[in-house]
């Protein structure tokens, strides 16, 4: 068995990139109000887009169980609906809502990379694990942990994008989203660094689905593929962290990690743990302007009003208007505030 932390510190092999991603997702402590505020704004922006998407009948009809009636009580919930699904399908449905094109620009700190690319997986994994912890009598993750996960996802996407500029072998951007989503989902599900590295390896080497960039029709195949990427990422994370799976890596698995690192664009001495932190988020935070916050808040409140009954909409808006209260709320309680009784507002 190999120790992923020790191997992470060895930058002479390309597997160090995969192990660095896993170590960062599992152990890095995100701190600082400015950094968390960036994550919070990305969350608000994504939720606003999701609630707006549910007003599109074509999108709303596709947000459903994989098999009609195949719900999972105690599973991951889909904000803006009454659905409780297994985490992978929940990630697909949320991703379908978030990947839908919208008229307004993305929130500045979530445009490159786009938080919506992976937030469906993050919300599904976080809600499922928080509900599971509550049922087991354990303390569930707080919203601040969810915000930290969003920050880490943006950082991983940013690093992989930088490698893409130097190495064309990284391939399609969907791979970056799948790798990032699998790493963060596995961490949220309680995976060890070795299990997270296993999920990242599988996500890196998973088959590609190519979509023509020119395909821009509303709610087209391109958006379905992006959502499907999130579902596959969560499925890989669940498999890697399943009960009974060893936390340490075998020498055979390490060979796969080495190949995965090369697929992602790593080379000898190319990556170490120091590459991952909050530098990208710090830079993106400087893009935040008061008028941007005002515009984002206005859009979010309008999307909430369009999706929820009046009383529930007021409660949701009040919750997000108090960041100090929001951040200390258990994740499962936040998602509970965002579900409906099945009657969507039109």
Q: What is the pLDDT along the chain (346 residues), one digit of tens a residue?
A: 344 444 444 545 678 888 899 999 999 999 888 899 999 999 999 999 999 999 989 889 999 999 988 999 999 999 999 999 999 999 999 999 987 655 445 444 444 445 456 999 999 999 999 999 999 999 999 999 999 999 999 999 888 877 765 444 434 678 888 999 999 999 999 999 999 999 999 998 876 555 444 444 444 567 788 888 899 999 999 999 987 777 677 667 777 787 788 878 776 544 444 478 888 888 877 777 788 889 999 999 999 999 999 999 999 999 999 998 999 999 999 999 999 875 444 4
**pLDDT number for residue 158:** 85
**pLDDT number for residue 102:** 53
DSSP string for residues in 1-40: -B-HHHHHT-TTSTHHHHHHHHHHHHH-----HHHHHHHH
Here the contacts of 315-323 (C-beta below 8 Å, separation 24 or greater) are 320/44, 323/37, 323/40
CATH number of 4-337: 1.10.4100.10
Q: What angle do CA 342, 131, 311 make, to 5 degrees?
A: 40
Beta bridge partners of 266: none
Number of H helices, E strands in the chain: 16, 2
* pTM for the model: 0.86
**pLDDT number for residue 278:** 85
Cα separation, 203 vs 276, whole angstroms: 19
CB of 170 within 8 A of CB of 164?
Answer: yes
CB of 268 within 8 A of CB of 12?
Answer: yes
What secondary structure letter does DSSP report for 113?
A: T
Cα separation, 170 vs 263, whole angstroms: 6
Q: Where are the domains of the chain?
A: 4-337
**pLDDT number for residue 121:** 96
271 three-state secondary structure: coil
What secondary structure letter does DSSP report for 246?
A: -
**pLDDT number for residue 164:** 62
């Amino acid at each position: 068995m190999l120790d992923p932390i020790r191997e992470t510190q060895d930058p002479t092999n390309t597997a160090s990139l995969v192990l660095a991603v896993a170590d960062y997702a599992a152990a890095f402590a995100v701190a600082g109000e400015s950094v968390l505020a960036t994550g919070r704004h990305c969350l608000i922006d994504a939720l606003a887009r999701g609630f707006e998407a549910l007003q599109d009948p074509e999108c709303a009809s596709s947000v459903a169980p994989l098999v009609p009636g195949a719900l999972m009580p105690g599973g991951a919930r889909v904000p803006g609906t009454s659905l409780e699904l297994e985490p992978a399908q929940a990630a697909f449905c949320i991703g379908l809502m978030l990947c839908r094109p919208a008229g307004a620009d993305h929130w500045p700190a979530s445009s490159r990379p786009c938080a919506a690319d992976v937030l469906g997986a993050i919300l599904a994994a976080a809600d499922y694990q928080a509900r599971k912890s509550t049922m087991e009598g354990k303390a569930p993750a707080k919203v601040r942990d969810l915000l930290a996960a969003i920050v880490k996802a943006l950082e991983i996407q940013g690093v992989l994008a930088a490698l893409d500029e130097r190495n064309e072998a990284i391939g399609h951007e969907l791979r970056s989203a799948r790798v990032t989503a699998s790493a963060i989902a596995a961490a949220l599900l309680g995976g060890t660094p070795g299990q997270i590295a296993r999920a990242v390896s599988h996500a890196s080497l998973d088959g590609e689905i190519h979509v023509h960039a020119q395909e821009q029709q509303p709610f087209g195949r391109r958006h379905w593929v992006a959502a499907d990427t999130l579902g596959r990422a969560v499925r890989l994370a669940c498999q890697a962290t399943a009960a009974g799976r060893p936390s340490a890596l075998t020498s055979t698995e390490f060979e796969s990690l080495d190949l995965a690192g090369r697929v992602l664009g790593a080379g000898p001495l190319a990556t170490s743990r120091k590459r991952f932190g909050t530098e990208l988020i710090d830079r993106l935070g400087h893009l935040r302007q008061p008028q941007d916050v005002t515009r984002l808040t206005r859009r979010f409140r309008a999307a909430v009003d369009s999706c929820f009954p009046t009383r529930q909409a007021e409660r949701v808006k009040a919750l997000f208007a108090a960041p100090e209260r929001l951040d200390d709320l258990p994740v499962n309680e936040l998602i509970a505030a965002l579900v409906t009784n099945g009657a969507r507002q039109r």
